[in-house]
Amino acid sequence: MVAAGVGAALLGVAGCGPGGLAGDESGDAAGETSTAKPSGEVLAGVDPCNMLSESELKSSGLQGPGEKADTLSWREGCNYDGDPASLTLLKDTRQTVDSAEKKDTWAKFERTEVNGRAAATAVTEGSTQAQICNVMFDAGQGLIQIQAQEAGRSDSLDECAKALEIAKKVEPNVPEPA
């Protein structure tokens, strides 16, 4: 079930950001190269399987340790089983909330904040019936995405509220937006 959710999330935000490939330096109008750190460097020390402490996992109804998700090289992830929801934490070094919003795969994309950071709650077209919700927020020169999927089919869980709850716990543990 978690693997299906990761696939839906990858479809939702796959692709290059507007600045090209991660690690590319962008030039200004005069042709000069910027000296900003590539997003991969800013987020290099962030491990999705270590964004939450054991006590944060337990208090959120998640079981640790997490299991590395099968994702793309610029999009590392970690899966957690839990009750009432399973969860995937993703680190994306090619997207920001602004660039993710431009994707045409969203059935729902609503701007919000996570502890003061630019964020969004989003559901992909393919996930509207699967009870999967994503919350993403800017970190470094990329984003962190929390995907919650209801473990059962009781309709008693607000997946977006659960993802936002976890996002608020993760946010202090990742770099500020660059």
Q: What confidence tens digit (pLDDT) does each residue in 41-97 have?
A: 778 889 999 999 999 999 998 988 899 998 788 899 999 999 888 999 999 999 999
Asked, for residue 89, whether it belongs to a domain, the answer is yes
Asked, for residue 19, whether it belongs to a domain, the answer is no
Q: Which residues of 27-39 are buried (b: 16+ CB within 10 A; e: fewer)?
A: eeeeeeeeeeebb
Asked, for residue 82, whether it belongs to a domain, the answer is yes
Asked, for residue 72, whether it belongs to a domain, the answer is yes
Asked, for residue 148, whether it belongs to a domain, the answer is yes
d(CA 92, CA 101) in angstroms, rounded, equals 14
Asked, for residue 178, whether it belongs to a domain, the answer is no
Which of 131 and 12 is assigned the larger pLDDT? Answer: 131
Please determine, for residue 35, whether its predicted confidence score (pLDDT) is greater than 70. no
**Domain extent at residue 166:** 2-12+39-173
Local confidence band at 166 (pLDDT 50, 70, 90 cut-offs): very high
Asked, for residue 31, whether it belongs to a domain, the answer is no
Identify the sign of the CA torsion 103, 165, 54, 39.
positive
72-78: long-range contacts at Cβ-Cβ below 8 A with a sequence spacing of 24 or more? 72/10, 72/14, 74/22, 74/40, 75/10, 75/13, 75/14, 76/47, 76/48, 77/6, 77/48, 78/47, 78/48, 78/49, 78/51
pLDDT digits (tens, 9 = 90+) for 109-124: 999 999 999 999 999 9
Provide the mean pLDDT of the chain. 79
Asked, for residue 29, whether it belongs to a domain, the answer is no
Q: Which of 130, 95, 101, 166 is nearest to 6 (CA)?
A: 130
Local confidence band at 20 (pLDDT 50, 70, 90 cut-offs): very low
User: What is the per-residue pLDDT for 128?
Assistant: 67
Domain of 165, CATH number, reads 2.60.120
Is the overall model pTM greater than 0.85, yes or no?
Answer: no
Average pLDDT over residues 137-144: 94
Domain count, the chain: 1
